[in-house]
Structure 1
Amino acid sequence: MTTLPVRDLLSRDYVGVSESDAVLGAVQLMREAGETAAVVLRGQDAAGVLTAATVLDRLLDGDDLERTPVADAMNPHPETVTPETTVAEATRRLVGTGTTHLLVTDGSEVVGVLDARDLAAAKRTEQAATTETTTAAGGTEESAVQDGYANQSICEGCGSFSQDLVNVDGQLLCPDCRTV
C-alpha cells in the first residue's frame, strides 16, 4: 500500500454542533450536509463526535431526540489522526478501534472527518493505481494485489470491515450488502 496521507483525501467541510444542541437538530444538520457524523465543539476544540449509529442507538432506547442534548449521545473520546497519517494507518485505526469516524486534527484544531467510505474509496484508488503500474511493467493484475489487503477492506455499503468484498456496480460490498 502506498503512503498516501489522509490530507490528500480529506474534505475540510464538516458539521459542527454544540454539546447543548438537541440531537434532533444536529441530525437535521447532518442530513442537510449529507454527512453521517457531526463534530461536537466546545469553543474551537472537539469535545466529541455524534454519529448516525449513536443516534440510532438513542432512538432505539426510546430517547426523545428533541429534548436529548448532544452531550448525552456523543462519543466523548473520538479517535483522532493527523493530516500526515497514511490511509493504511487510518484504516487500521478505524478497524482496530471499531469506530466509524476519525477526526483529523492538526494540534488541537479539527481539520476534517474521515469515515469508512472515504478510506475505502482511497484504497480502491490506490489498488487501481497499483494494478495499472504493475500491468504496465509487464506483470499481471493478480501480482498487483498480493500485498495482503486485496481481499479485506471496508465495505462501501455499510462501512464494516470485511475479508470478502466483491465489486458490485463499482462499489466494494460485503456479503450482507450484496443481498440488499
Structure 2
Amino acid sequence: MVLNTQRDLETDVSIREIQNEMTVKEAMTKEIFVMNADASVLEVAREMADHNANNIIVLEDGDSVGIITENDIVSKTVVRNILPAEMLARDIMSSPIISIKPSTGIIEAAELMIKSDIRRLAVMEGNVILGMITDRDILSISPGLNTILVNLIEMNRERDFLQETDVERGICQRCGALTDNLTEVDGVPMCEDCREEEGYYD
C-alpha cells in the first residue's frame, strides 16, 4: 500500500527541514512600536497609521503589559460608537501578551497561534521584546507549510477581503473617529456621518 504520493513526500521533507532548521528569531520582524498605557486610543491609531503598523505594544512603568491591533480599535471603539479620543490604550489592549522564545521553531509558533486563535506572537527573551512574528511571516517561508497551517490561511481570508475592497480605513479629520468608510471631501478625509453633516452624500 502506498502511504504517500511523491508530492506528499516532498511536502513532508520540506516541513521537516523547516521545523529542524528555522527558528522564530530568523523569521520574526524586529521593528516594533510601543505606546504608554495612558495614551488615548486616538494617539495609538495615529501612531499605527504613521508607521503603517498593524499592532502596538502597550507599556506601563516600562513593562510590556498588552498589545493593541487594528481589530481591537475597530471592535472596541468604532462599532460601539465610542470616540477613540475618549478611551485609553489600557482600556482596549489584549493582555497578557502571548509570547514565544526566539529559539523556538516556527512550526511550534504556528501551532501556538492556532491554539490561541491569534495572528501574531511577541518574541521575548526574558522580559525584553525582541520582535514580532505573524502568521504571514510563517506562511511566506515555504508553500509546504500551507498543508498544516490551513487554519492560519482561513484567518487571513477576511483581512484579504477588506484589503481588496475600495473601503479605506483611517481617522476622520473632522470628528477624530476611526472609520472603515473614509472619503476625502475637498481634500479633507471624513467619515460617513461628517460627510452627511457637510451635505455630501455617497
User: TM-score, with normalisation over the residues of structure 2?
Assistant: 0.63
Instruction: Please tell me the residue identity of whatever aligns with 2:83.
Output: D
Alpha-carbon distance in structure 1 between the residues aligned to 2:49 and 2:137: 17
Q: Does 1:70 pair with 2:89?
A: yes
2:33 maps to 15
How large is the Cα RMSD of the aligned pairs? 2.5
Residues 104 and 65 of structure 1, relative CA distance in 2, 3 Å threshold: same
User: 1:76-105 CA deviation, whole Å, 9 max, x = no partner?
Assistant: 112110101111111111111112321110
The number of aligned residues is: 143
Asked if the contact 1:47/1:76 (under 8 Å) is kept, the reply is yes
Q: State the 1:160 CA deviation.
A: 0.6
**Which of 92, 109, 119 is matched with 1:100 structurally?**
119
Asked if the contact 1:87/1:123 (under 8 Å) is kept, the reply is no
Q: State the 1:152 CA deviation.
A: 2.2
Which structure is higher in RCO with an 8 Å CA cutoff and minimum separation 6?
2
1:51 maps to 69
Q: State the 1:69 CA deviation.
A: 0.2
- Point out the structure with max Rg over C-alpha: 2
Q: Does 1:154 pair with 2:165?
A: no
Unaligned segments of structure 2, at least 5 residues = 1-14, 166-202
Asked if the contact 2:106/2:138 (under 8 Å) is kept, the reply is yes
Asked if the contact 1:83/1:104 (under 8 Å) is kept, the reply is yes
2:189 maps to none
1:83 maps to 102
Q: State the 1:30 CA deviation.
A: 1.2
Q: State the 1:153 CA deviation.
A: 5.2
Asked if the contact 1:18/1:40 (under 8 Å) is kept, the reply is yes
2:52 maps to 34
Alpha-carbon distance in structure 2 between the residues aligned to 1:10 and 1:104: 8
Asked if the contact 2:72/2:92 (under 8 Å) is kept, the reply is yes
Asked if the contact 2:36/2:58 (under 8 Å) is kept, the reply is yes
User: TM-score, with normalisation over the residues of structure 1?
Assistant: 0.70
SS of corresponding position for 1:154: helix
Structure 1 residue runs of 4+, over 3 Å off?
none
